[in-house]
Amino acid sequence: MKKFPKNFLWGASSSAYQFEGAINEGGKVPSIMDKFDERKSYPKGITGFKVASDHYNHWKEDVALMAEMGFKSYRFSISWPRIIKNIKGDINPEGIKFYRDLIDELIKYNIEPIVTIFHFDTPSFIEEIGGLDSSEFSNIFELYSKVLFENYGSKVNYWLTINELNMFAFVGQIIGVISEKSKSTKWQIMHNLNVAQAKAIRLCKKMLPNAKIGPAPNISSVYANSNKPQDHLAKLNFDQMRNWIFLDIVCRGEYGTWFKNFLKLINEEIIITNEEKEILKNSKPDFIAFNYYSTMTVEYASSKDSKNSLNNLGDQQSGFIIPGIGKTVKNKNLEATQFGWEIDSIGFRNTLREVYDRYQLPIMITENGIGARDVLTDDKKIHDDYRIEYYQKHIRAMSEAIADGVEMIGYMPWSAIDLVSTHEGISKRYGFVYVNRDEFDEKDMRRIRKDSFFWYKDLIEKNGENI
Ligand code: BG6
């Protein structure tokens, strides 16, 4: 095992719409996420994002808890609809102030703010130009990024562009980031997002030459279900589709031949202008951030094998079938969480290795973690030993990847404090800190330190040497 670097950024993550609540406070305008209850695909019987963990009104206390754990960094997203009021780009000063205060508070405790520009909560006013389907989207996104760079650029050293751009394409409907009214193909939307990302990178480099900026997709190794050559081919194809096309476009500046052939195979076309090609070629990131939860296992699917289900309603790793290419299957060698996500810490090492070998850029982990139905005991404790075990294994795997030669900047698992899952409510908890509320009973929102809180605090204090 290799030691973690001296200035390693230990911390954790959150996203605005899943954590802040206060959807109508402080001059915020609506986002696509505020309308979760109008979405056909949003499951019944679970809470939405109106109140969430009420971080908007608990932010000082929340930052103090992060400081108590010894965080060196905190990755959070800025809510676009809290900052910009309308399609003309008018700014909401209260929103600007909220994040300025938050950033100042983090810096007060020597916590490095790591800012995601856009994490799923598209402002509703974007519908006026046709939503993510519109080729205008990237310009509006660039203007919003400019406001962030102007206001926070002197204090924020690390920027992340768009959270899980690749998951917009795959599970966009279930997460709710792709409007049910959307007319474009998901690949056109993905392209529009790639252009928006490139414009933000280009602008960041121009306005903030000392800052660092990177993408934050969800990446995972893909395994072939057997050693049959056609299963290996399915693995290579899914690797491309799920991972590499999204990192190639940002790190290498173009879509590879595989992707162009794939679009023909599924009878889809995307419009790419010459100007966009130029921007994509000249907007390279400084590092790669990625979210890792699990690996994917696939086998070949013949062209007669059921119908195309790229419109996945499963999760990040399962439920995909592309006739002639492959389909996802369960990995019998792995255990799963209470919510059915396979747990694969060796896969984490493998994924880190693959990403580093391919792009040779420093890596930051911006999500990793276990969603579980934590139980508050009578003596007001949460004994989440399963979470400690999960982190132990994954952090050990990360240290082994460092020993393998992977250059790592930081680790910010999901999530700092409990928040609302994308589509499985507040009962699917991820935090080191418990928020005392249920799906529909908001109780007192009290913050309670879980056992994992004390474990992580100790690990950070020792810079991971006790792992
Ligand atoms: C990532 C997202 O996909 O996974 C987060 O970036 C999300 O927003 C996290 O919360 C866990 O997924 P879920 O569906 O359990 O909330």
If you measure from the C-alpha of residue 30 to the centroid of ligand 1, how many angstroms do you get, rounded to a whole number? 21
Atom index in ligand 1 nearest the CA of residue 293 equals 4
pLDDT computed for residue 315 by the predictor: 62
In the predicted structure, residue 1 carries a pLDDT above the cut 60: no
pLDDT-wise least confident of 58-62, 88-92, 324-328, 429-433: 324-328
Tokens of 448: 């309670």
pLDDT at 318 over 80: no
DSSP summary character for residue 426 = T
**Cα 430 to middle of ligand 1, angstroms:** 10
* 428 Cβ inside 6 Å of ligand 1: yes
| 393, 449 Cβ separation under 8 angstroms | no
Catalytic residue ranges: 164, 367
Q: What is the pLDDT of residue 2?
A: 65
Could you tell which of 120, 422, 430 is best to mutate to test the pocket of ligand 1, judged by most ligand atoms within 8 Å of the CB?
422
- Bigger pLDDT: 159 or 320? 159
Asked whether the predicted pLDDT for residue 26 surpasses 60, the reply is yes
Residue with tokens 């950024």: 9
pLDDT tier at 305 (50, 70, 90 boundaries)? low
Report whether residue 15 contacts ligand 1, using a CB cutoff of 6 Å: yes
The pLDDT, as a whole number, for residue 310 is 54
Question: Is the Cβ atom of 291 under 6 angstroms away from ligand 1?
Answer: yes
Question: What's the rounded mean pLDDT across residues 424-436?
Answer: 97
* 303 or 157, which is more confident: 157
Q: Over range 393-402, report the average pLDDT.
A: 98
**Across 83-91, average pLDDT:** 98
Helix (H) or strand (E) holding 214: strand 212-216
pLDDT average, residue stretch 179-200: 90
In this predicted model, what pLDDT tens digit does every residue of 31-41 receive, in sequence order? Answer: 999 988 888 87
Going through 108-152 in order, the beta strands assigned E by DSSP cover 112-118
- Please state the rounded mean pLDDT for residues 221-237: 97
**Separation between Cα atoms, residue 168 and residue 463, nearest integer Å:** 35
pLDDT reading at 311 higher than 50: no
- Rounded average pLDDT over 352-364: 98
The confidence band for 312, taking pLDDT boundaries of 50, 70 and 90, is very low
Across the range 174-190, mean pLDDT stands at 85
> What distance in angstroms lies between residue 282's CA and the mean position of ligand 1's atoms?
30
Atom of ligand 1 nearest to the CA of 167: 3
Q: What is the pLDDT of residue 307?
A: 57
Q: Residue 267: pLDDT above 90? A: no
Mean pLDDT of 268-287: 96
pLDDT at 331 over 80: yes
pLDDT (0 to 100) of residue 175: 86
164 CB under 6 A from ligand 1? yes
Ligand 1: centre distance to CA 218 (Å) = 10
* Ligand 1 site-directed mutation target among 41, 122, 421, 426, most atoms within 8 Å of CB: 421
Name 273's Cβ contacts closer than 8 Å, sequence gap at least 6. Answer: 135
Using the predicted structure, report yes or no on whether residue 188 has a pLDDT greater than 90.
Answer: yes
Residues 319, 313: Cα–Cα separation, whole Å: 7
Report whether pLDDT(404) > 80: yes
Contacts of residue 261, Cβ cutoff 8 Å, sequence gap at least 6: none
pLDDT score of 87 more than 60: yes
**The model's pTM:** 0.96
Average pLDDT, the chain: 94
- Tell me the CB-side half-sphere exposure of residue 84, using CA atoms within 13 A: 24
Indicate if ligand 1 lies below 6 Å from the C-beta of 116: no
Cβ atoms < 10 Å from Cβ of 143:
14
Pocket test of ligand 1: the residue of 367, 373, 390, 419 to mutate, having most ligand atoms within 8 Å of its CB, is 367
d(CA 169, CA 172): 6
Q: Which residue's C-alpha comes closest to atom 8 of ligand 1?
A: 422
As a whole number of Å, the end-to-end CA separation of the chain is 10
Q: Which pLDDT score, from 0 to 100, does residue 334 have?
A: 98
Q: How many CA atoms within 13 Å lie on the side-chain side of 10?
A: 24
**Position 266 confidence tier, pLDDT thresholds 50, 70, 90:** confident
CB-based burial label for 68 (10 Å; 0-12, 13-18, 19+): middle
Q: What is the pLDDT of residue 444?
A: 97
- Which has the higher per-residue pLDDT, 139 or 175? 139
Across 218-225, average pLDDT: 98
**How buried is residue 264: exposed, middle or buried, by Cβ count under 10 Å (0-12/13-18/19+)?**
exposed
358-397 burial string, b = 16+ CB within 10 Å, else e?
ebebbbbbbbbbbbbebeeeeeeebebeebbebbebbbbb
Q: How far is the CA of 229 from the centre of ligand 1 (A)?
A: 33
3-state SS assignment for residue 259: helix
Report residue 279 as tokens: 């921007």
The stretch 199-226 carries a mean pLDDT of: 98
Find the 448 Cα to ligand 1 centroid distance in Å. Answer: 22
- The closest-lying atom of ligand 1 relative to the alpha carbon of residue 371 is 15
Selected residue with higher pLDDT from 326 and 360: 360
| Closest ligand 1 atom to Cα of 120 | 8
pLDDT of residue 34: 94
Q: What strand order describes the sheet that includes 321-322?
A: 222-224, 296-299, 326-329, 321-322
> Which pLDDT score is estimated for 171?
82
